Structure 1
Amino acid sequence: MPAIAIMKQFNNFQQYSICFFFPYHEVSGVPVLFSRMANTIIDQYPFIDVSIIDYNNGAIARNFTSNDKVRIIEFKDGQRVSPPDDCVLIMQSILPYAMRPELLIKPKTKILLWTLHPENLVPILIPLPGLRNIQNHYFQFYKTIASLFFRKRIKLCKEYIRIANIRKGLYFMDGPNFEKTIKYLFLDRFDVDFLPVPSVPSLFKEEKTINTDVIYFCWVGRLCDFKSHILIHTLKKLSTIAAKTQKRIYYYVIGEGPFRERISMLNIDNHYFKLDMKGPMTPDALDRFLATEVNVLTAMGTSALEGAKLAIPTILLDISYYPIKGDYLFRWLHDTKDYDLGHDISSKDYVENNSSLETMFLSLFEQYEELSRKAFEYFKNNHDIGVTARRLVSAIEHTNFAIENVPPYLLKRTFLRKLYDKMRGFN
C-alpha cells in the first residue's frame, strides 16, 4: 500500500517516534522480529521516526549500520541509557523489576509491551540455576510456593498487567501466551489485544497444484526435543496411512538438531512411504524448494507460515517434550484460534480413535485448491508483515501506559533477583 494511503488511515497524521529495545548479541527470534518491523515501518510509515537501543554490532543494530533512517543508541553493560524523549518504547513484555538496570525510562515515556514468550510475564519465584525451571514443569509446586511466600508480589504483578492492559500498553502474540499468563498469575479472563508475529511475503508466485501419484510432505524446523516428538509421531502416522490407503507419500525433513539421527534411524519406510532428510537450507533456497517441490507442510511456530505464504496447505503441530502417547488431534493452520502457532500439548489435544490426519490426507485429493487458498488467505489476513505493521502503528497511537503507572514496589529487585542478575552478568 502506498505511504500516502497508509498515512490517511491514522487519526491525526502526526509525527511519531518509536524506539525498539532488545540489546542482544546473538541472532534469535526477537531481534529478527524487531529488525523486520523496524524495516517495514521505515518503508511504509515515513511519519514515524525509528530508534533502536542495542549493543554496538548487536543482533538488531548490525542490520542498520548503513541506514541513516534509523537512529542507533548504543547499549553498554553497566552504563545508563534512555530512549529518546517523546518516543513510544517497544519492548518484549517483562516484569518491571526484571528490566535491565541500565535502562532509564522517564516517568511519562509511553511503553508498548509485546508478549512474545509464554513466560514473559510469569514471575520467577526462585531465580536460581537449576530451580527456575521447576515451576514450568510442576504448576502445583509453583502454586503452593506463590500462595505461601509470594502473595504480595503476585498481587502487584496482577495489578501491573491490569494497568498495562487498561492503558492499551499490553499485547500478546497469541492465545497460548495469554493463557499461560492468566494461569500463572491466577488472573480472571479479560479482553486482550493480539499482535501476531509476522512473516515476510514470498516473491515466488507458483500456482499450487498436486500430482496425485505422489504427495510431497515436508517438515521445516529445528530438530530439538520439544519439536521432534510430535514430528516423529506424525511421520509414523503418515507411514501407516500411506500403507493403508496405498497412496504414496514422500516426506522431506528440512532442519538440523540433536534429534536428527534418531529421526533418520526410524524404521518407517515402506512401499508407499519414503523419508528424505534434507538438512538445513538458506531462506532463499527454502522458499524456492517449498514453492516447487512441496505439496503439504507440517510445522510449528513461524516455520508454519513459510508454507502458508506460498499457498501450501499447512498442518500445524504442537509442542511436546515427551513422546506422544495417545490419539493426537491434527488440525490445519487455517483452523487455528487466536493466532496460535503451536502450544504445549495437553489432554485437550487428544481425542480417542480420531482419524484427523487420515481425513486431512484424503482431502488433498479432492480439495487441494481450496486448502491452498485457505492457507494463503490465513497468512495474508493475519501474519503478513504489512498487517502486523498496521496493527503495531495503531497500538503506538493508542498506548497510554508509562512507567509512572507501575506500582513502585515492582520496580525494586529482590535480593534473589539481584543475585540472579549478577550470575547472568547484569549489574
Structure 2
Amino acid sequence: MKVAFYNPSRIIGGAEHLFFRLYTLYRQQGHTCKVVDYAEGALSQLGAAASDIIPITSVRRTFSVDCDLFILPPNMAYEALYNSDLKGSTKIVFWSLHPYNCVPILPLAFYKKLNASSFVKALIDYTFLAPQIRYARTLFKDASTRNALLFMDGENYSFAQKFIHSPLNRTFLPIPSPTITETRTPRDPEQRSVNFFWVGRLVDFKIGALNRLIVDLDAWAITQKFTVTLHVVGSGEAEGQMHSATHLKIEKHGHLNNQLLHKKLAAEADAVFSMGTSVLESAAIGVPSFITMPTYANLGDERSYLPLPETKSFDLGSFSISEGLLNFDKLANGAFFNEHFGETCKQYVLEHHDLTEIAAHLLEFGQRSTLLFSDVRTAYRKRFASRYLFAALTGK
C-alpha cells in the first residue's frame, strides 16, 4: 500500500515521533511511505529518508503525493485539504491526537485559559472562528459517518462529540509505544538518592503540570534523608515559566534523542512523570510511570497524577477527568515507586500499545474509510483568511 502522512512541524514532539515510528515500520514491511513536511522539518531530523519527504516551505503551499491512504491530524485538515493534489481514489483518515484536534481554537494563551462556557469565549468564537467552526463540524461529522475519523483516547472522543453536537463513531486507535530493547536496571536497596524524571516538551499546556511536580517534590524532599533530583528532559517556549526549588535538585537535559533517553531512563529513573507518548516509553522499559494532567494554568491542581495502568479509554493526559487522580502524597505513601509496579506498567503497554498491532489496525481502518479525495475536492477545499494570515506571520 502507498501511505502518506501529513504533519508538517519544525519541532519534535509526541506526534512527530508517532508518525516516524509508523513510517519506519511500514517501510520495513514493504509499503511505500511518504511524509509531507518541511525540507528540514521534524521527520527529517528524526531520520526519514530525503526521497520519502514531500518538501513544503509553508503549509500555505501546494503539494502533490501519490498515495492510496492519506493520514493526518484533524487540526491540519484546513491547509492540507486545500493545498493537496491527490488522486481522486485516495482514501483519507483523520487521527485525533489531541483533545482540541477537531475543535477550532485561537493560538493565543489567554484564549486557551477561557472557560469553555464563558460569554467572552462565545463572543470570540462567533467573531473570529464561526466559519471554521461550521466547516469543522460538517467535515468531521461526515468523516465519522464514512469511517474516516479515529480517536487516540476517550478524551479526544469526548471533546469532539461535545463540539460537533452529533453522535460520532466511537472508534479508538491508541497511540503506539516504540519497540524498546532497554530494560530497567535493578536498583541498589542501599542507594542514598532518588531520581525522578519529567519527559516532555515545555509548552503552554504542559508547563503547569511540570510546575506542580516541582512544588510537590520540593515539599517531599524536606522529609527525606536522601538526595531528591528531578531530571527535566525536554525544551520549549515555556521553559522560562518553570518554577524553582529550594530542597529539590533540578537538572535540565533539554531534548535527548530516543536512544540516549531510553538508556538514561533504564539506568537512572526511579519514576517518570509525563503525558502522551512519553509516558509509554518509560513504562515499556519497566520504570514506574505516571500520567500528569495537562493544564493551561501556570500551576496544576494538587490531584494531578494517575498511575499509568489505571487509565481508562487509553487516556494519557486529560483536561477534564478527575476520577482516580491522586495527589503526590498518595503516590509516595502507596506501593508505586518499586520494581513490581514498574513491571505492571510494562505489561500495560505491551497489552494496549504494541506498535506492530496498532500499525496493522491503522491500515485496516484506512481500507474501511469511504472518504475519498474526490469527495474532498468538491466539498471541503476552502481557504480561511485568518489561518492563512497566522501561518504567514508565524512562518508556518
Same fold (TM over 0.5): yes
Q: How does 1:12-411 map to 2 (within 5 A)?
A: 16-43=1-28, 45-46=29-30, 48-61=31-44, 63-65=47-49, 71-75=52-56, 80-84=62-66, 87-94=68-75, 96-99=77-80, 101-124=82-105, 134=111, 137-139=114-116, 140=118, 141-144=120-123, 154-185=133-164, 187-206=165-184, 208=186, 211=189, 214=192, 215-224=194-203, 226-241=205-220, 248=226, 250-255=228-233, 257=235, 265-267=244-246, 269=247, 274-280=248-254, 281-324=256-299, 327-344=302-319, 349=322, 356-364=327-335, 368-406=338-376, 408=378, 410-411=380-381
SS of residue paired to 1:113: strand
SS of residue paired to 1:89: strand
Call closer, same or farther: CA 1:420–1:75 in 2, change over 3 Å: closer
- Pairwise CA distance, 1:420: 4.5
Distance across 1 between alignment mates of 2:167 and 2:186: 41
* Percent of residue pairs identical: 24
Answer yes or no: is the 8 Å Cα contact 2:99–2:159 preserved in 1: yes
Call closer, same or farther: CA 1:208–1:305 in 2, change over 3 Å: farther
Call closer, same or farther: CA 1:370–1:326 in 2, change over 3 Å: same
- Pairwise CA distance, 1:145: 5.4
Call closer, same or farther: CA 1:108–1:173 in 2, change over 3 Å: same
SS of residue paired to 1:121: coil
Structure 1 residues 415-424 or 284-293, which shifts more? Answer: 415-424
Call closer, same or farther: CA 1:133–1:384 in 2, change over 3 Å: farther
Structure 1: runs of 5 or more not aligned: 1-15
Residue type of the alignment partner of 1:83: V
Distance across 1 between alignment mates of 2:360 and 2:72: 17
Distance across 2 between alignment mates of 1:36 and 1:371: 27
SS of residue paired to 1:305: helix
Call closer, same or farther: CA 1:61–1:100 in 2, change over 3 Å: farther
Call closer, same or farther: CA 1:220–1:211 in 2, change over 3 Å: farther
C-alpha distance after superposition, 1:228-270 (max 9, x if no partner): 43333334434545656x6756233233557768767422x2x
TM-score (norm 1): 0.75
Call closer, same or farther: CA 1:425–1:202 in 2, change over 3 Å: closer
TM-score (norm 2): 0.80
Answer yes or no: is the 8 Å Cα contact 1:209–1:368 preserved in 2: no
Call closer, same or farther: CA 1:146–1:107 in 2, change over 3 Å: farther
Structure 1 residues 293-302 or 405-414, which shifts more? Answer: 405-414
Answer yes or no: is the 8 Å Cα contact 2:5–2:70 preserved in 1: yes
Call closer, same or farther: CA 1:277–1:74 in 2, change over 3 Å: closer
Distance across 1 between alignment mates of 2:63 and 2:386: 24
Structure 1 residues 226-235 or 161-170, which shifts more? Answer: 226-235
Answer yes or no: is the 8 Å Cα contact 2:292–2:304 preserved in 1: no
Call closer, same or farther: CA 1:327–1:25 in 2, change over 3 Å: closer
Call closer, same or farther: CA 1:389–1:250 in 2, change over 3 Å: same
Distance across 2 between alignment mates of 1:123 and 1:381: 34
Q: Does 1:412 align with 2:382?
A: yes
Structure 1 residues 251-260 or 284-293, which shifts more? Answer: 251-260
Distance across 2 between alignment mates of 1:88 and 1:119: 23
SS of residue paired to 2:70: strand
Structure 2: runs of 5 or more not aligned: none
Distance across 1 between alignment mates of 2:275 and 2:350: 18
Call closer, same or farther: CA 1:60–1:229 in 2, change over 3 Å: closer
Call closer, same or farther: CA 1:165–1:212 in 2, change over 3 Å: farther
Give the structure 2 partner of residue 12 of structure 1: none
Call closer, same or farther: CA 1:415–1:174 in 2, change over 3 Å: same
